[in-house]
Amino acid sequence: MAARHREDGFGSLDNPERIFDQDYQQLKQDFVAHRRGFIDLKFRPDRDSIGEGVLSLTDLDRVQWLRPGEIAPNPSLIVDGISRFDFGQGRIGNCWFHAAVGSLAFQNNILKQVIPPGQIFNEEYCGLFHFRFWRFGIWVDVVIDDILPTIDGRLIFVHSTTQNEFWPALLEKAYAKVCGSYADMIAGTPAEALMDFTGGVYIYVDLKDPPPNLWKLIWRACQSKSLMGCVTPQGETSENKVAANGLVKGHAYTVTGVKQVMSQKKVESLIRLWNPWGEGEWKGDWSDRSPLWNTVRPQDREECLKVADNGEFWMTIADFCKHFTHLDICCQSPSFMDGSQALDWKASVYEGRWVAGATAGGNKRHDSFWINPQFRIKIGKVLGERAETHNDGNMLVSLMQKPDKRNRRQVKNLYIGFYVFEVPEEFMRKKGQFPASFFSHHSPVAHTKIFRVAREVMEFFKVKPGEYLIVPSTFKPYETASFILTIHAKREILSPAV
């Protein structure tokens, strides 16, 4: 299968694709000129936009769709800047999205990508706003009206701590439109929204088998202005959702900082987390009321405990690994992982598709593995002497499933993974699909540790200069799905072959 390399241009951040072909500037010009309030006919203020399973039938009958001016006096999109403490999660299980929003609130440059500036309630206000997300390889511009679902005059879903600030509710509505409905935002991991906010590089860290340099990795990620989220394991029952230690079971949190303090003649490496509920905190060591804070310098104690009972707390890296399943990091470049320069890294993006009976061969245990899409790349010269001598990884491969359905809840992710084979000298002149015999006699030099049911899987590893064959696959054969394969290399990617 020939690989198609994605090109810049339409679908870029500067020229995003318009969802439903809705042009924000044209719509604004028309509605301002006619002094009418915009109503989005592509995402109507009705039950279909809320979706099923979010509210009871009784509550659905009580819903009123109101504009900001009908909810609070002097409405504003943003009041005194944007902060993770501006909002709290509402009556929908989308903590994964709000954990990502909490991380987004730290990075003004990324915020401006997602929330284009200049949107204010002024004389040209017509109830029209727009937001931008990176969706499966392209940037999209999402137009919405500002008619929000309420009960008894209060927002049902995300709510602001400042009554007349509406960026959280409007951002959530725009993302609900992209997903299909508010109900389509139920359940997920922070990685999904983190990628949709940045279009960057996704790093998955398994906290049950963490790297030995985990704290340093997180510290570097903070320094590089990465976005980070994490998740607690599901409870054994649906009861007692909040554990005795204060953590919510099966819940997403935002990583908001790291710090080392000297306590009782020992260095403690701490990580700061935030609960998107805006309340509910860890009660163990180094929690807000822990006596351990009396063992550190007053300056450290004051800096770390500026505000109490805001959903934000500290814990040790050891407790973090014990009580959370994995860490999601999203960044502009993998450079923070080894302290290299972002310019050292090059990226290539390809699209492909598994088709049952044609190009869906399953994993390497199946005889049909060889029919999977194959992508051949050549890793050339080292970009700088540092990369030549560094012992860390120099290639990151990411595989993302691309859904065929609009509504997020209807998307069934498959178990996916990939293998990387070095092309030996005798196959250098080979053109087209590599045969089954090649895979019978050659082992991969790298591969995903496990096949996962996830929107995206990735691995970070080290390879030497040469040619490589990357084979993405589903775990089982005869499964149909589209995908995006992204390769980041610290050594220059010269040319695709197959």
The pLDDT value given to residue 3: 37
Domain membership of residue 7 (yes or no) is no
H helices present in 105-206, as ranges:
108-114, 167-179, 190-198
- Is the same domain home to 51 and 173? yes
- Is the same domain home to 233 and 306? yes
- Is the same domain home to 44 and 178? yes
Catalytic status, residue 245: no
- Is the same domain home to 261 and 377? no
- Is the same domain home to 153 and 216? no
- Is the same domain home to 400 and 285? no
3-class SS of residue 81: coil
- Is the same domain home to 180 and 275? no
Residue indicated by tokens 């030099």: 445
The pLDDT value given to residue 25: 92
Is residue 397 within 8 A of residue 485, CB to CB? The reply is yes
The pLDDT value given to residue 473: 96
Domain end, chosen from 307, 329, 351, is at 329
Domain end, chosen from 295, 329, 363, is at 329
pLDDT (tens digit, 0 to 9) for every residue of the chain, 498 residues total?
333 334 546 678 888 999 999 999 999 999 988 888 999 999 999 999 999 988 999 999 999 999 999 999 999 888 888 878 888 888 888 889 999 998 888 888 888 899 998 898 888 899 999 999 999 888 999 999 999 999 999 999 998 888 899 999 999 999 999 999 999 999 888 999 999 999 888 889 999 999 888 998 999 988 888 899 999 998 664 556 888 999 999 999 999 999 999 998 899 999 999 998 888 889 999 998 899 999 999 998 888 887 676 889 999 999 999 999 999 999 887 877 766 666 678 888 899 999 998 999 999 999 999 999 999 988 876 545 444 444 467 888 999 999 888 888 888 899 999 999 999 988 888 888 999 999 999 999 999 988 999 899 999 888 888 899 999 999 999 999 999 999 988 766 655 444
Is residue 335 within 8 A of residue 203, CB to CB? The reply is no
CATH at residue 247 = 3.90.70.10
- Is the same domain home to 125 and 95? yes
Q: How far is the C-alpha of 467 from the C-alpha of 420, rounded, in Å? A: 10
Domain membership of residue 334 (yes or no) is no
Which of 95, 230, 304, 321 is flagged as catalytic?
95
Domain membership of residue 8 (yes or no) is no
- Is the same domain home to 458 and 404? yes
Domain membership of residue 9 (yes or no) is no
Domain membership of residue 130 (yes or no) is yes
The pLDDT value given to residue 336: 77
Domain end, chosen from 135, 167, 192, is at 192
Domain membership of residue 114 (yes or no) is yes
- Is the same domain home to 359 and 390? yes
- Is the same domain home to 184 and 221? no
Is residue 192 within 8 A of residue 204, CB to CB? The reply is no
H helices present in 274-384, as ranges:
298-304, 317-323
Catalytic status, residue 240: no
Which of 130, 251, 323, 488 is flagged as catalytic?
251
Q: How far is the C-alpha of 139 from the C-alpha of 136, rounded, in Å? A: 8
Catalytic status, residue 251: yes
Q: How far is the C-alpha of 71 from the C-alpha of 29, rounded, in Å? A: 25
CA atoms within 13 A on the CB side of 448: 26
Domain membership of residue 498 (yes or no) is no
- Is the same domain home to 40 and 163? yes
Total structural domains within the chain: 3
The pLDDT value given to residue 492: 63
CATH at residue 408 = 2.60.120.380
Specify the amino acid at residue 284. Answer: G
Q: Which residue range forms the structural domain that includes residue 377?
A: 339-493
Residue 4, judged by CB atoms within 10 A of its CB (0-12, 13-18, 19+), counts as exposed
Which of 126, 230, 275, 323 is flagged as catalytic?
275
